Amino acid sequence: MLAADKLLLQSNVKQRAIQLREKELNLFNDNFNAVGTQSAVLAGFAMTSFAEIDLPHNAFYAQKACLHLFVTISICANLMCTASTTFVSVWGSGKALRGKDGSMDKAVDGMHAERAFIFTCFGVGLITTLMALMSAAWILMTLEVAIVATMGISWSIYVIVRQARRIHSKFGLSKADIVTFDDIMGSPVVPSTAGGGEEDAVLIPRAQQHARRGTYDV
């Protein structure tokens, strides 16, 4: 009976560790959903400006080229961000919950690794949206108004980049600061999947049954 109690204890420790990893999974899903939603909104703005703006025929070729280039980059970057967040959230969550033993760790680590690409696409889409607005200002506005608008847009880009760097340095985590569960999952207390499957399938339910009844085999 002691062997069954040991297996039950190991199973409970592993289950609690997986529950902690599930919190990370939910955090990544919430973050990706927020970023994906904002990217979809920015892509809609860029697409609307691309389709609805009626450019004057006397506009300079360089101005129209910059506008079309920035709008195209903005749409592509934002749609890449939206698609990536959708893929990661759907397939990552599916692997974590429906995969074999150890899939939760692989899914959470994989979602963490995808953050850099997703945030880069979001940043590129955001900046190019403002650059497209600046190009449209030089096409549609008078010289004086375009200069003022350019100063305002340039200041906005500077503030966004500065805030991103400042906030990331304040809340960013280094590898040494990140809490991991490798010591728990690699501990001999946690059962491995290499063997003992049939024994676990018999002893763990039996131990749970005896624990509920308050009786033990002698």
pLDDT per residue as tens digits for the range 163-204: 999 998 888 777 766 766 665 566 665 555 444 444 444 434
List pLDDT tens digits, range 84-98: 999 999 999 999 888
List pLDDT tens digits, range 118-139: 999 999 999 999 999 999 999 9
Instruction: Please count the structural domains in the chain.
Output: 1
CA atoms within 13 A on the CB side of 148: 4
- Which tokens go with 29? 């899903």
3-state secondary structure of 195: coil
CB atoms within 10 A of CB 44: 12
Residue 52 has what pLDDT?
78
pLDDT of residue 155 exceeding 80, the answer is yes
Q: 92 near 32, Cβ under 8 Å?
A: no
Residue 97 has what pLDDT?
86
Residue 184 has what pLDDT?
59
Q: Which residue in this structure is represented by tokens 């280039």?
A: 69
* 7-11, 73-77, 151-155: segment of lowest average pLDDT: 7-11
In this structure, is residue 112 part of a structural domain? yes
- The residues, ordered by sequence, that sit 6+ positions from 17 with a Cβ below 8 Å of its Cβ are 181, 184, 185, 190
- Which tokens go with 71? 């709008």
Q: Which of 184, 190, 217 is nearest to 8 (CA)?
A: 190
In this structure, is residue 218 part of a structural domain? no
Domain that holds residue 166: 2-213
List pLDDT tens digits, range 12-63: 777 777 778 888 899 999 999 999 999 999 999 888 877 777 778 788 889 8
CB neighbour burial string for 196-214, b if at least 16 within 10 angstroms, e if fewer: eeeebeebbeebeebeeee
Q: Which long-range contacts (CB under 8 A, 24 or more apart) does 86-94 make?
A: 86/36, 88/28, 88/32, 88/114, 88/118, 89/29, 89/32, 89/33, 89/36, 92/25, 92/28, 92/29, 93/25, 93/29
Residue 192 has what pLDDT?
57
In this structure, is residue 108 part of a structural domain? yes
pLDDT of residue 218 exceeding 70, the answer is no
In this structure, is residue 81 part of a structural domain? yes
Residue 216 has what pLDDT?
41
